[in-house]
């Protein structure tokens, strides 16, 4: 049932994004008086649909995208062009038809982000606060860079850091890079070089510093040491073995290193502080108590114009990050593990929907924006490939051979299908214990 829920959620997300994109092409074509032969959700064999006087609106077998087929787009007689065929239009009109699909995806993203901003954006409160460091992991990149608890990061590579959200983004999108950090320590501005490492199966950038997070217990799991010791939601751990602890990450470091070892916890419940003895469960050599930490959240709502302005700025920021990620992936500085295919998108979509419609719509906006931008890349088979051909034709002042254009499109489409196979296998590899090495025996 969980798998079915993920599939249905994924299809909802994909349907919205694809239909908006193809609607952009359709609307532009009709405005330019070009006949649309097919409006398809999915590729391959036609399953069902409805035929109007000029257009076959259909759902096809492979629901991983969609397309609009314009009259004369694939084959036409140059000696007897019809007025409603795509090649009969001037290059400006053809450019407008090709680009409007991606533009509609960007517009969808801006509208959804603005709508969420108006209804209220709930985010972790610390992300909106200045980047004061509350804990530095021993031996981690931040520790090696000389950063300490109490430092406040103000800039990364000369770009201003307003809050923890900016700092996490700067570090997370630059794995294995050397970043110059400006920070304040006791009122003095200093600088250091941070050699970013990687973390998680996605190999995102990791620095080993954290915000000041109190060790307040959120949800307590049944039949784990925390519950059996009588710990409750809202309790705050303020000490371990009679030594003070004022940060969850400091406590976590002690906990992880103490599987099966008795610990004496100082617990603050309301205005009362008391001692509790507890022995962490040994799970693969790691100490576990069975609770999650409570992270304070904040909901911020904006008026129409401020929400729209924030949405545009956020879309520009996400666009820049997308292009930076593409450049880094081409240069080999960013792992392909950061790519997410339909399986991961399905999982993310269901998780976002469970946490509320705001997160769900933000996910749709993010994916819509990325697909819109990626569609503009100059790759045959994508809208950007058509735009590239149109640009070449504009420069040489004549149309390229139709057979050559068809061959280029089919080559591009084949490459896209190969990429789709890769990202699906990549999704599967992320769930396996040894990643791609677990798949290799089956691929030989």
pLDDT > 70 fraction of the chain, expressed in percent and rounded: 91
Residue of higher predicted confidence among 81 and 274: 274
Q: What is the pTM of this model?
A: 0.75
The answer, yes or no, to whether residue 168 has pLDDT greater than 90, is yes
Q: In this predicted structure, which of 177-181, 377-381, 429-433 has the lowest mean pLDDT?
A: 429-433
Output the pLDDT for position 208.
94
Structure confidence by residue, pLDDT tens digits, 300-315: 888 999 999 999 998 9
Structure confidence by residue, pLDDT tens digits, 130-146: 999 999 999 999 999 99
pLDDT > 90 fraction of the chain, expressed in percent and rounded: 52
- Homologous superfamily of the 217-293 domain (CATH): PDZ domain (2.30.42.10)
The answer, yes or no, to whether residue 419 has pLDDT greater than 80, is no
The answer, yes or no, to whether residue 337 has pLDDT greater than 70, is no
Phi, psi of 393 (to 5 degrees): -65, -35
Q: In this predicted structure, which of 63-77, 275-289, 381-395 has the lowest mean pLDDT?
A: 63-77
- Among 177, 428, 166, 103, CA closest to 327: 177
The answer, yes or no, to whether residue 433 has pLDDT greater than 70, is no
Q: In this predicted structure, which of 57-66, 158-167, 329-338 has the lowest mean pLDDT?
A: 329-338
Output the pLDDT for position 328.
78
Structure confidence by residue, pLDDT tens digits, 370-415: 889 988 988 877 888 888 888 888 888 887 777 787 788 778 778 7
CB distance 370 to 325 below 8 Å: no
* Tokens matching residue 246: 């004022």
What residues does CATH 2.30.42.10 cover in the chain? 127-210, 217-293
Mapping DSSP onto H, E and C, the string for 356-382 reads CHHHHHHHHHHHHHHHHHHCCCCCECE
Structure confidence by residue, pLDDT tens digits, 227-239: 999 999 999 999 9
How long a stretch of residues is the chain? 444
The answer regarding whether domain 127-210 maps to CATH 1.10.10.60 reads no
């Amino acid at each position: 049932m969980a798998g079915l829920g993920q599939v249905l959620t994924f299809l909802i997300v994909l349907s919205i994004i694809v239909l908006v994109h193809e609607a952009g092409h359709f609307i532009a074509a009709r405005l330019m008086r070009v006949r649309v032969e097919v409006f398809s959700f999915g590729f391959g064999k036609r399953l069902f649909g409805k035929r109007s006087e000029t257009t076959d609106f259909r759902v096809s077998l492979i629901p991983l995208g969609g397309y609009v087929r314009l009259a004369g787009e694939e084959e036409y007689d140059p000696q007897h062009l019809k007025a409603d065929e795509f090649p009969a239009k001037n290059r400006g009109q053809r450019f407008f038809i090709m680009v409007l699909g991606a533009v509609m995806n960007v517009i969808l993203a801006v509208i959804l982000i603005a709508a969420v901003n108006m209804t209220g954006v709930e985010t972790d409160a610390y992300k909106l606060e200045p980047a004061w460091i509350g804990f530095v992991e021993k031996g981690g990149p931040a520790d090696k860079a000389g950063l300490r608890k109490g430092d406040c990061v103000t800039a990364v590579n000369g770009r201003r850091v307003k809050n923890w959200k900016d700092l996490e983004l700067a570090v997370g999108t630059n794995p294995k890079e050397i970043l110059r950090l400006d920070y304040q320590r006791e009122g003095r501005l200093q600088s250091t070089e941070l050699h970013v490492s990687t973390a998680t199966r996605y190999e995102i950038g990791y620095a080993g510093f954290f915000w000041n997070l109190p060790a307040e217990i959120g949800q307590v799991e049944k039949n784990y040491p925390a519950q059996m010791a009588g710990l409750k939601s809202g309790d705050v751990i303020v000490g371990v073995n009679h030594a003070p602890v004022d940060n969850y990450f400091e406590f976590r470091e002690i906990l992880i290193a103490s599987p099966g070892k008795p610990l004496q916890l100082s617990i603050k419940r309301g205005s009362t502080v008391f001692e509790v003895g507890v022995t962490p469960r040994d799970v693969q050599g790691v100490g576990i108590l069975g609770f999650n930490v409570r992270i304070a959240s904040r909901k911020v709502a904006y008026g129409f114009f401020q929400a729209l302005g924030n949405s545009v700025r956020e879309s520009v920021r996400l666009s820049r990050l997308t292009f930076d990620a593409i450049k880094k992936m081409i240069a080999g500085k960013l792992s392909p593990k950061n790519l997410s295919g339909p399986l991961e998108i399905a999982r993310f979509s269901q998780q976002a929907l469970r946490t509320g419609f705001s997160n769900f719509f933000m996910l749709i906006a993010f994916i819509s924006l990325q697909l819109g931008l990626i569609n503009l890349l100059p790759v045959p088979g994508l809208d950007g490939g058509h735009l590239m051909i149109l640009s070449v034709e504009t420069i040489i002042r004549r149309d390229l051979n139709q057979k050559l254009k068809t061959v280029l499109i089919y080559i591009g489409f084949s490459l896209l299908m190969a990429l789709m196979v890769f990202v699906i296998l990549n999704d599967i590899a992320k769930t396996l214990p040894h990643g791609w090495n677990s798949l290799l025996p089956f691929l030989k």
